[in-house]
Each structure stands twice: as structure tokens, then as C-alpha cells.
């Protein structure tokens, strides 16, 4: 097995024992990126020299006796987390030239742990989407079938791990953006409990739903990265003051005894692809053979989750994105052109025309936001406006509470919930271009966890006949990441889906 096919946990051991240096490891990934990323398009930016400089620094620290588990391990970061003085674009023309003057807490924690920041990964613009096709920068392809989408919005992060171009990556999940691309690319993704990971320096989409989390090849790798980024942060008042067990990683090898897994029958019914259903059902049987009991239960309000999410998320987005006016932040339309435009309107006899300032705001936003972002801003602004607020936003908040209560009730009966991540495997690129509603429905099984603030894990549980990965989702009560990760490890120890490789033709 080549170095880049090893798990991050194993690479961490090789680094610790001195069998491998961070420079060698980082170079191996840079080589994979150089040979594969022209086909996949996972990375927006990679700076090999900067990565190798960090690798050398990690090797030097190791010599001085430092032992952090992430020391010298390469990590790819979704282009939504601020990195000091480095472009942080959110895959938007609006932020095409934005260089934050500070590090997000997640990036700062990665630096402090000695990780090598390998590069920045592609995403849907402002994380709005489920296919990475809304990126204003480039297309990302699914490494298992390059005519298909990797999912989104953390599509670059998932594709980078799936194609062995990074052992670990950071994504964000507002309605499924870690779990869905992980599922569609055959890798592991964890959306932590709301507040587990600091959002300081995370460019906001929908602040009450956004969470940062890890993507990796195997569950213990995800746990390794999760442990490094989790924790309370004085810069984020919504971050939780809860710590993870120090022995999290060691505890993963102990199977959960008497595990009670709940499932919802409709989530395996109509509308779910037959191959997805059968892979998830097989995974449930495997859990039973590992000693788990299956409990059928109901989440009566889950059928309203997508509708609720697509009111709340756009409302929060419309208010978060108000700051991009070309003055406070973001792309500024040329004032000279604005003045020319206004002069010609005046000359043509127009009376009620904008001031230069208002037209400059308008043009800046018109030019720099993509169609999907504009759609969300319009939806959100509408739902928040006087007269509609009660009918849409307030009602959505009430349904959100009911969804949370459904989960609370479910977790009185079971430890975790099991089901599919998405109803279908990866879609063809371009296939949902003209159908935003169909694209929103892809989020059916993932948005519930965000609305309720609970943690959820996605892991590979099979492949379709045509070779596309299928994802299994486990959801747990707040702060149940240790159990989720243990249950995921239990499954991976008994199965070998996670050992399959994308780009088999090119992987030695």
C-alpha cells in the first residue's frame, strides 16, 4: 500500500516513529494533486512551497520533542474558513480578492497542532448548494465517475480525500454539506453538534445551522481531526463549553454493547433508490449481527424538514449576506461606470433614478453574486418582510422546534438513528441545473440534524452496480459524537467499503 493510501492515524504513527517525515508525506500528496487534480478539480489553490515549508517546520518540531497527533499531517481546508493573508473566496466572485487579516479558530487550531495546510478546496458559492456546481470558480468532478458531481457544498473537500489528494479535510455543514458529499464520494464525514466547533472566522451562511467538521477516509481519522478542532472558543459565544474525552481515539476500538438503533420506515421507502435502500438495509443487518437491536420509530415532522430549512436558511443568509455591499466587504462595481450609467439614464429623461451610492451597491451585488445566492437572498428577504414574517419565518421556527422534539423523543428509545444520507447516488453534472427544487430535495435526510443541532456521521456502506458509492447516516443526540464515532468504527471494522479506491486506474 502506498503512503497516501494509509489512514491518517497510521500516517501519524509513521511520523511519530520517524519512519516517514512530514516532507515526504506532504510531497506524496502534492504529487497526487499534480497528477490527478486536473481531472477532479477539488482544489482552488495549492501552494506547494508553502506546504513544504510547513512540513519542514513540523519535522523540526518533531525533532525538538513535540508529539501532537496532527503534527506534520496534511489537511485540506474548504475555502470558507478565514486564513490570515491568504485568499478566502467562498468560491464567489464577491470575495475573489478577499484576504482576511486573521485566522479562523479552526485554522488557528490546525496550525497550533502542527498540521500542514495543504490547500483550499472548492465548494458551492457561499456553501449554498449540494453539487459544487454553484462554485463561481471551477467545476469539481466525482473521482468515482468524472461525469458526476461530488455532491456539495464541500465537494472539493470530499473529492480530495476520495482521490487520495489529502488524508484529511475540513468541511462545513449547514444542511448536509459535509455528510452528503462524503456519502457521494465514498468517504467519512462528521457534522458535529451545533456549537462543538467554533464558527469564528467561518464565513457565515446560516448562523444557527452552520457547523465545521472533518472529512476522512476512515472513522478514527475523522475523530483525530475532530478532536483537534473541537472546543470552546471565547470568540464564538455559541461554542459549547464541553470537552471531549481525552481517550476518544482509543475508545473507538471498543464496540458499543447493547446498541439500540432506530430507523424510520419512510426513509427507506418511496423515492429512495433501490440500490441505496438495499445497501442501507444490509448495513442494518450487519449492525444486528454485531449485537445491535433495530427499533422502528417515527419522526412525524421530518417530512417538513426541507420546507422548514429552505425558509430558515435563506432568511439567515439574506441577513448575513447584507454585508457584501462593495464598501464593507467584497467586490465593488466601478464608480466611474456607475456614474456614466446614471448620466445616460438622466440624459434619456429618467427622473426617479438611484443615487451613485445605491446604484453602486446594486451593481456590486448584481455583478458578483451567482444565481443561486441571489435566489436565496430573494427568498429570505421575502420571508422576513413585514406581513410574511409570521406566515413563513415564525412558522418555520415553530416547526423547527417540533422537529427537535421528535428527535428528543426518539432518543429516549434508541441510542442512535440509522438511515441513508441521500436518496440517490451522485447525480450527473448539469442534471439539476434547471430544477432548483429537485436540488433542494436532495437534502431530505440531512437537514433534520442541522435544524435540531444534533451530530451526524456519514460513512460508506456500499456501491451501486455502476460503481458509485452509497452513504450510511448515523445521527445521535447532542454531544453524542463519541458514540457515533464508536458505532461507525464498529461498522468499518466489520466491512471493507472504506478500503475501495476511486481512480483505481491511476492509483498504484
Residues that bind ligand GLN (CB under 6 A): 127-130, 153, 173-177, 205, 313, 443
Distance (Å, rounded) from C-alpha 423 to C-alpha 128? 19
CB 8 within 8 A of CB 221: yes
Distance (Å, rounded) from C-alpha 205 to C-alpha 98? 17
Report the greatest alpha carbon distance in the chain: 80
Active site residues: 78, 153, 177
Burial class (CB in 10 A: 0-12, 13-18, 19+), 277: middle
- Which residue, 227 or 450, has its beta carbon nearer to ligand GLN? 450
Pairing mode, strands 211-216 and 416-420? unpaired
Distance (Å, rounded) from C-alpha 186 to C-alpha 218? 10
- Which residue, 445 or 497, has its beta carbon nearer to ligand GLN? 445
- Which residue, 123 or 472, has its beta carbon nearer to ligand GLN? 123
Distance (Å, rounded) from C-alpha 146 to C-alpha 31? 20
Q: What's the first-to-final CA gap in the chain, in angstroms?
A: 8
Among the listed residues 427, 469, 467, 474, the one whose alpha carbon sits nearest the alpha carbon of residue 446: 474
Shortest separation between residue 232's beta carbon and ligand GLN, angstroms: 23
- Which residue, 7 or 174, has its beta carbon nearer to ligand GLN? 174
Write down the residue that cell numbers 523540526 correspond to: 60
Distance of CA 289 to the CA centre of its chain: 31
Shortest separation between residue 447's beta carbon and ligand GLN, angstroms: 7
- Which residue, 175 or 330, has its beta carbon nearer to ligand GLN? 175
Shortest separation between residue 383's beta carbon and ligand GLN, angstroms: 15
Distance of CA 301 to the CA centre of its chain: 24
Shortest separation between residue 153's beta carbon and ligand GLN, angstroms: 4
Shortest separation between residue 190's beta carbon and ligand GLN, angstroms: 13
Amino acid at each position: 500500500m502506498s503512503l497516501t493510501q494509509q489512514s491518517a492515524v497510521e500516517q501519524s504513527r509513521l511520523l511519530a516513529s520517524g519512519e516517514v517525515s512530514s516532507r515526504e508525506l506532504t510531497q506524496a500528496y502534492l504529487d497526487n494533486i499534480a497528477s490527478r487534480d486536473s481531472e477532479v478539480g477539488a482544489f482552488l489553490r495549492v501552494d506547494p512551497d508553502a506546504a513544504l515549508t510547513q512540513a519542514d517546520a513540523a519535522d523540526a518540531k518533531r525533532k525538538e520533542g513535540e508529539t501532537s497527533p496532527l503534527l506534520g499531517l496534511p489537511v485540506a481546508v474548504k475555502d470558507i474558513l478565514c486564513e490570515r493573508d491568504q485568499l478566502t473566496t467562498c468560491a464567489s466572485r464577491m470575495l475573489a480578492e478577499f484576504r482576511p487579516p486573521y485566522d479562523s479558530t479552526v485554522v488557528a487550531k490546525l496550525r497550533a497542532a502542527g498540521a500542514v495546510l495543504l490547500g483550499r478546496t472548492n465548494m458551492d458559492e457561499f456553501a449554498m448548494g449540494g453539487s459544487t456546481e454553484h462554485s463561481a470558480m471551477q467545476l469539481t468532478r466525482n473521482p468515482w465517475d468524472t461525469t458526476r458531481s461530488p455532491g456539495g457544498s464541500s465537494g472539493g473537500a470530499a473529492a480530495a480525500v476520495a482521490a487520495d489528494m489529502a488524508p484529511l479535510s475540513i468541511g462545513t455543514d449547514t444542511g448536509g454539506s459535509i455528510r452528503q458529499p462524503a456519502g457521494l464520494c465514498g468517504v467519512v464525514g462528521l457534522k458535529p453538534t451545533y456549537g462543538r466547533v467554533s464558527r469564528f472566522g467561518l464565513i457565515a451562511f446560516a448562523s444557527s445551522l452552520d457547523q465545521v467538521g472533518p472529512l476522512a477516509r476512515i472513522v478514527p481519522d475523522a475523530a483525530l481531526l475532530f478532536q483537534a478542532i473541537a472546543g470552546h472558543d471565547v470568540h464564538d459565544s455559541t461554542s459549547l463549553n464541553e470537552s471531549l474525552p481525552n481517550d476518544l481515539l482509543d475508545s473507538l476500538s471498543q464496540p458499543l454493547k447493547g446498541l439500540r438503533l432506530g430507523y424510520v420506515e419512510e426513509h427507506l421507502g418511496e423515492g429512495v433508490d433501490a440500490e441505496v435502500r438495499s445497501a442501507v438495509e444490509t448495513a442494518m443487518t450487519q449492525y444486528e449481527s454485531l449485537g445491535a437491536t433495530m427499533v422502528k420509530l417515527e419522526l412525524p415532522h421530518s417530512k417538513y424538514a426541507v420546507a422548514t430549512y429552505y425558509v430558515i436558511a435563506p432568511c439567515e443568509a439574506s441577513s448575513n449576506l447584507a454585508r457584501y455591499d462593495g464598501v464593507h466587504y467584497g467586490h465593488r462595481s466601478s464608480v466611474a461606470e456607475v456614474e456614466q450609467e446614471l448620466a445616460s439614464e438622466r440624459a434619456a429623461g429618467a427622473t426617479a433614478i438611484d443615487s451613485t451610492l445605491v446604484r453602486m451597491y446594486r451593481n456590486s451585488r448584481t455583478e458578483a453574486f451567482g444565481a443561486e445566492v441571489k435566489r436565496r437572498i430573494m427568498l429570505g428577504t421575502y420571508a422576513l418582510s413585514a406581513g410574511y414574517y409570521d406566515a413563513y419565518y415564525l412558522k418555520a421556527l415553530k416547526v423547527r422546534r417540533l422537529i427537535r422534539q421528535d428527535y428528543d423523543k426518539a432518543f429516549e428509545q434508541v441510542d442512535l438513528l440509522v438511515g441513508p444520507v441521500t436518496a440517490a447516488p451522485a447525480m450527473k453534472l448539469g442534471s439539476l441545473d434547471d430544477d432548483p427544487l429537485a436540488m433542494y430535495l436532495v437534502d431530505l435526510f440531512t437537514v433534520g440534524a442541522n435544524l435540531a443541532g444534533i451530530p451526524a456521521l456519514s460513512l460508506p456502506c456500499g456501491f451501486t452496480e455502476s460503481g458509485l458509492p452509497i452513504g450510511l447516516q448515523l445521527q445521535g443526540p447532542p454531544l453524542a459524537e463519541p458514540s457515533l464515532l464508536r458505532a461507525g468504527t464498529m461498522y468499518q471494522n466489520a466491512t471493507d467499503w472504506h478500503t475501495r479506491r476511486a481512480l483505481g486506474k491511476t492509483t498504484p
